Amino acid sequence: MFDFPYFITMLPDIWKAFQETVVMIGIALAISIFIGLPLGVLLYVTDKGLFWENRFVKNIFGFAVNLVRSIPFIILLVALFPLTKILVGTTIGPVAASVSLSVAAIPYFARLVESSLRDIDKGVIEATIAVGATPWMIIKDVLLPEAKSTIIRGITLTVISLVAYSAMAGTIGGGGIGDLAIRFGYYRYDNTIMISTVVILIIFVQLIQLIGEQFAKSLDKR
Amino acid sequence: MLEFQNITKIYESKNKQVVGVDNVSLKINKGDIFGIVGYSGAGKSSLLRCVNLLERPSNGKVLVDGIDLTQLSSSELRTARLKIGMIFQHFYLISQKTVGENIAFALRAAKTPKNEIHKRVKELLAMVGLTDKEDVFPAQLSGGQKQRVGIARALANNPSILLCDEATSALDPKTTLSILKLLKQINEKLGITIVLITHEMNVVKEICNRMAIMQDGKVIEEGAVYDIFAQPIKPLTQEFINSVVSFEIPDEILKDVKGQVIKLLFKGEVAGEGVISDTMQRFDVKGNFLHGTIEYIQERPLGIFVMELQGEKSTVDEAKKYMEQRGAVVEVVKHV
């Protein structure tokens, strides 16, 4: 069932696919943190009873986030082809795939950030308001530090979701491990590749989870 | 000076209104340690939170040194808040920042120059007795130590008022006492007006000079702590006073008493004048103590005794009159 010599000959392909996966996840993660983090903070501070309470803003962004999250990823992927074409110039390859991955991951991560912030004791925020702190200080020195560990855990979750999404993106021209698994494992009944890709993904996800958790723990001073 | 003018706070929920604070007017003088006492739900916390507008009153004004805070813009309000420190029952320190950083946060809110922050943090830590804890995280501190950090943070910008929201309610009696001592010291040394809310009468007795009792959103009694302890008027006030100085005499005992039972109140110097022994020598009555204590409130003695007087009715009456002449307040608990 598992043909080891064949596996060895396929190693360069597997390695290339793995790199492609890492590239698309890396780009998508960077973008979703860059946009999702502020978006999550915005969703939180515009909520009822907080210092930038604003129903209008909250509803608009909340709606946009829910909208994207309710579209199945495989459909989002295809629907975003025109946008991808404009941004990257092509719809093929890991960089192109990272566009729709980012679009999917931004609202996901934003919601995780929002819920991390919600876990902070409101009293702590109130105490800093009483001290006379500006909203910006509260975000920078209270909200983000207090939620740091849970946000790290959110990043871990986002990466793991991205791994799953990246496999889907692979099937429609994104490349990477998912593409390899479909082409060899599914279309050609190549069990060796199928098993190897599954094992690689399992190890990859376990590693991310482990590193993320360790990091989150080491940062938490509670 | 801090003044509440007709403060009303109404909480709107789905289909009903709840009155948290009901038309409260209070004046708190500079340098006072003012205690607001009441059971939970009486509105004391809402009232306190109206001072720095953590809650906006639905109606009325809060004047801090003559300035109506409700009229300020949000940036003016932030500046005003720098001068109103606040500490909380659950401390509310930033858990991911060290003790030093927590205090520095308040200083940065006041835009203190960077090079002065560290020096001031050291000063504040020395004042609250935590010099060696600057680089420690709050999780490693005891409750009392956390409250000390809270106090240091609240005092960072030299406020004129310190608000204490049940500041000792989460602490054990010994720690409570040490925190109260610290607050008193701060009041005396820095002249900061302290407003504290509590449901523990002990706290008021320990450090407050004036107090108010709240019930159902209203202030039902207000005055100097000594006077209220000596002669509480409202039933709720009496209930609170009884929680610290109780003069309940068991019915069993009262049943067997033959003479008249009176309660004597000696305020201030009168307490030390030996009025009772003089009376016993002058009149042909037998006295028998059933209960009694001398409490020291604000360093002034307050003597309260319950005793039985046996003798001719006319002599007993004369003896009571004599004691009243000497400054005692006489109240008959049980007639013969």
d(CA B50, CA B58) in angstroms, rounded, equals 10
- Say if residue B246's pLDDT is above 80: no
| B110 contacts A132? CB cut-off 8 A | yes
Q: What digits encode the pLDDT tens for the residues B170-184?
A: 999 999 999 999 999
CA atoms within 13 A on the CB side of B222: 13
| A146 contacts B94? CB cut-off 8 A | yes
Query: Which tokens hold the place of A46?
Result: 């515009």
Find the mean pLDDT for residues B41-51. Answer: 93
Find the mean pLDDT for residues B206-222. Answer: 95
HEC string of A112-146 equals HHHHHHHCCCHHHHHHHHHHCCCHHHHHHHHHHHH
| B109 contacts A132? CB cut-off 8 A | yes
Q: With beta carbons under 8 A apart, name residues in chain B contacting A129.
A: 54, 81
d(CA B198, CA A137) in angstroms, rounded, equals 31
CA A48 to chain B, closest CA, distance in angstroms equals 14
Find the mean pLDDT for residues B38-66. Answer: 92
Q: With beta carbons under 8 A apart, name residues in chain A contacting B110.
A: 132
Q: Which residue of A has its CA nearest to B111?
A: A133
d(CA B142, CA B178) in angstroms, rounded, equals 13
Question: What pLDDT score does A186 carry?
Answer: 84
φ and ψ of B292, to 5 deg: 175, 155
Find the mean pLDDT for residues B109-117. Answer: 94
Find the mean pLDDT for residues B11-38. Answer: 92
Q: Which amino acid is at B321?
A: K
Measured CA to CA in angstroms, residue A2 lies from A7, A185, B185 at distances of: 8, 12, 79
This prediction has a pTM of 0.89
Find the mean pLDDT for residues B218-247. Answer: 90
d(CA A150, CA A152) in angstroms, rounded, equals 5
Q: With beta carbons under 8 A apart, name residues in chain B contacting A123.
A: 88, 90, 92
Residue linked to tokens 């925190």: B179
Let me know: does B107 contact B117? Beta carbons within 8 Å: yes
User: What sign has the CA pseudo-torsion A196, A198, A199, A205?
Assistant: positive
Question: What pLDDT score does A26 carry?
Answer: 96
Cβ-proximal residues to B318 (8 Å cutoff; 6+ apart), any chain: B283
Q: With beta carbons under 8 A apart, name residues in chain B contacting A218.
A: none
Of B96, B109, B137, the CB nearest to A131: B109
Q: With beta carbons under 8 A apart, name residues in chain B contacting A220.
A: 96
Residues of B at the A interface (Cβ-Cβ below 8 Å)? 52, 54, 78-82, 84-86, 88, 90, 92-97, 105-106, 108-110, 137-139, 150, 153-154, 156-157, 163
Count of residues for chain B?
336
Question: What pLDDT score does B259 carry?
Answer: 86
φ and ψ of B106, to 5 deg: -65, -40
φ and ψ of B174, to 5 deg: -70, -45
- Say if residue B8's pLDDT is above 90: yes
Mean pLDDT of chain B: 92
d(CA B77, CA B215) in angstroms, rounded, equals 30
Architecture category of domain B2-242 in CATH: 3-Layer(aba) Sandwich (3.40)
Q: With beta carbons under 8 A apart, name residues in chain A contacting B95.
A: 124, 146, 221-222
In sequence order, the β-bridge partners of residue B163 are: B86, B195
User: What sign has the CA pseudo-torsion A151, A152, A157, A160?
Assistant: positive
Binning pLDDT at 50, 70 and 90, where does residue B295 land?
A: confident
What is the SS3 assignment for A15? helix
| A131 contacts B92? CB cut-off 8 A | no
Angle between helix A144-169 and helix A191-219 axes, rounded to 10 deg:
170
CA B158 remoteness from chain centre: 22
Find the mean pLDDT for residues B125-150. Answer: 96
Interface test with B, best of A51, A53, A131, A142 (most B CBs within 10 A): A131
- Say if residue B218's pLDDT is above 80: yes
Q: How many CB atoms are located within 10 Å of the residue A118 CB?
A: 13
Interface test with A, best of B94, B101, B135 (most A CBs within 10 A): B94
User: Pick from A104, A62, A59, A60: which is nearest to A79 by CA?
Assistant: A104
Domain at A4-219, CATH homologous superfamily:
MetI-like (1.10.3720.10)
Residue linked to tokens 């130590």: B145
Give the least confident one: A175-179, B38-42, B158-162, B247-251: B247-251
Size of interface A-B (CB pairs under 8 A): 81
Of A131, A137, A146, the CB nearest to B153: A131
Cβ-proximal residues to A55 (8 Å cutoff; 6+ apart), any chain: A46, A48
User: Pick from B231, B222, B229: which is nearest to B330 by CA?
Assistant: B231
Residues of A at the B interface (Cβ-Cβ below 8 Å)? 121, 123-124, 126-134, 137, 141-142, 145-146, 148, 219-222
Question: What pLDDT score does B127 carry?
Answer: 94
Q: Which residue of A has its CA nearest to B136?
A: A221
User: Pick from A102, A111, A216, A118: which is nearest to A159 by CA?
Assistant: A102
Local structure of residue A182 (DSSP, 8 states): I
Angle, CA B177 vertex, CA B175 and CA B181 arms, to 5°: 115
CATH of B251-334, one of 3.30.70.260, 3.30.1490.20, 1.10.260.40, 3.90.1150.10: 3.30.70.260
Query: Which tokens hold the place of B56?
Result: 């906006």
Let me know: does B20 contact B217? Beta carbons within 8 Å: yes
Q: Which amino acid is at A85?
A: K
Residues of chain B with CATH 3.30.70.260: 251-334
Q: With beta carbons under 8 A apart, name residues in chain A contacting B85.
A: 130
Q: What digits encode the pLDDT tens for the residues B282-294?
A: 999 988 899 888 8
d(CA A44, CA B153) in angstroms, rounded, equals 26
| B88 contacts A127? CB cut-off 8 A | yes
| B92 contacts A123? CB cut-off 8 A | yes
| B54 contacts A126? CB cut-off 8 A | yes
In sequence order, the β-bridge partners of residue B33 are: B194
Per-state percent for chain A, helix, strand, coil, to nearest 5: 85, 0, 15
Binning pLDDT at 50, 70 and 90, where does residue B257 land?
A: confident
| A133 contacts B92? CB cut-off 8 A | no
Q: Which amino acid is at B132?
A: D
Burial B52-77 (b: 16+ CB within 10 A, else e): bbbbebbebbbebeeeebbeeeeeeb
User: Pick from A195, A177, A204: which is nearest to A7 by CA?
Assistant: A195
Low-confidence ranges of chain A (pLDDT < 50): none
Let me know: does B303 contact B264? Beta carbons within 8 Å: yes
Q: What digits encode the pLDDT tens for the residues B138-173?
A: 999 999 999 999 999 999 999 999 999 999 999 999
Question: What pLDDT score does B61 carry?
Answer: 92
Of A133, A141, A222, the CB nearest to B95: A222
Interface test with A, best of B79, B86, B93, B95 (most A CBs within 10 A): B95
CA B82 to chain A, closest CA, distance in angstroms equals 5
Find the mean pLDDT for residues B38-44. Answer: 91
Query: Which tokens hold the place of B98?
Result: 């060290």
Q: Which residue of A has its CA nearest to B98?
A: A221
Q: With beta carbons under 8 A apart, name residues in chain B contacting A133.
A: 78, 105-106, 109
Q: Which residue of A has its CA nearest to B75?
A: A134
Cα-based torsion angle of the residue sequence A203, A207, A210, A215 in order, rounded to the nearest 10 degrees: -170
